[in-house]
């Protein structure tokens, strides 16, 4: 990915960003390309509002209100730490099941990772390709179960398995993880250095997790 202004991204990051942007407007397991595109646009607006000081007023005691998908996009984007299992139950009652939840979560998490990265280095935010026509793929892991988390996972619930209900979202998460941070295999190298030493990476990650109120 290249931009007219700001620094260019390194090849590894640029290629990963291109894959993310292409996936955003392609059909997913439960959403069409157009629906995924709309969710991404909504998320960017919500993040822009948050960055402008118009923080979403949200607490863990809030109930899901209005359109369930819109509520979820806004909440994941600007107030993810306030989401609780009760909200997932309410979304399910409204017809937005676990697979929908995981798809929206994976989509927005990757978009926020890309946009935050580009903002941090002073690069232009990448534009969305035009949505690709076609129905959702319907591919969901049939062996996923509730195993200590809020949503079904393949294997015990943990950050690496969080999106395993949807294989495509799980693979996309790890693809970006490897480009922006370290691959799962690479995390075994405690002396890794990608401009920052592994200890520095973990310091930044732990501080970011604290500021984002990450439960893990």
Residue 108 lies in a domain: yes
Residue 151 lies in a domain: no
Say how far apart CA 184 and CA 136 lie, in whole Å.
29
Contacts of 84 (CB under 8 A, 6+ apart): 60
Residue 177 lies in a domain: no
DSSP symbols for 122-140: TPPPPPPPPPPP-------
Residue 55 lies in a domain: yes
Residue 101 lies in a domain: yes
Cβ proximity of 159 and 39 under 8 Å: no
Q: How much is the pTM? A: 0.88
Report how many domains make up the chain. 1
Contacts of 74 (CB under 8 A, 6+ apart): 42, 46, 56
Cβ proximity of 6 and 146 under 8 Å: no
Region 175-202: what's the mean pLDDT?
A: 88
Cα within 13 Å of Cα(152), Cβ side: 13
Cβ proximity of 64 and 90 under 8 Å: yes
pLDDT, mean over the chain? 90
Residue 153 lies in a domain: no
What is the extent of the structural domain holding 108?
A: 11-134
Cβ proximity of 42 and 111 under 8 Å: no
Single out the residue of 105, 100, 114 nearest to residue 177, CA to CA.
Answer: 114
Kindly tell me if the per-residue pLDDT of 125 is higher than 70. yes
Q: Report long-range pairs for 206-209 (Cβ below 8 Å, ≥24 apart).
A: none
Residue 163 lies in a domain: no
Region 146-170: what's the mean pLDDT?
A: 95
User: Among residues of the chain, what percentage have pLDDT more than 70?
Assistant: 95
Residue 99 lies in a domain: yes
Q: Which tens digits make up the pLDDT trace of 1-58?
A: 444 445 566 788 889 999 999 999 999 999 999 999 999 999 999 988 877 877 788 8
Kindly tell me if the per-residue pLDDT of 213 is higher than 80. no
- Tokens 């989509």 map to which residue? 107
């Amino acid at each position: 990915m290249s931009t007219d202004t700001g620094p260019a991204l390194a090849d590894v990051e640029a290629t990963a960003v291109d894959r993310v942007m292409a996936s955003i407007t392609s059909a997913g397991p439960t959403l069409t390309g157009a629906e995924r595109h709309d969710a991404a646009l909504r998320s960017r607006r919500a993040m822009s509002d948050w960055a402008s000081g118009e923080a979403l007023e949200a607490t863990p005691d809030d109930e899901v209100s209005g359109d369930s998908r819109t509520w979820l996009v806004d909440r994941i984007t600007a107030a993810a730490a306030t989401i609780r299992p009760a909200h997932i139950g309410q979304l399910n009652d409204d017809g937005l099941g676990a697979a929908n939840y995981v798809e929206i979560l994976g989509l927005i998490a990757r978009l926020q990772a890309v946009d935050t990265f580009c903002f941090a280095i002073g690069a232009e935010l990448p534009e969305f390709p035009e949505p690709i026509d076609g129905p959702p793929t319907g591919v969901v892991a049939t062996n996923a179960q509730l195993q200590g988390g809020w949503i079904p996972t393949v294997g015990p619930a943990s950050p690496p398995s969080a999106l395993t209900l949807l294989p495509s979202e799980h693979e996309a998460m790890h693809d970006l993880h490897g480009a922006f941070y370290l691959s799962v295999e690479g995390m075994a190298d405690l002396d890794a250095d990608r401009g920052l030493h592994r200890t520095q990476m973990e310091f930044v990650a732990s501080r970011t997790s604290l500021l984002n109120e990450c439960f893990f």
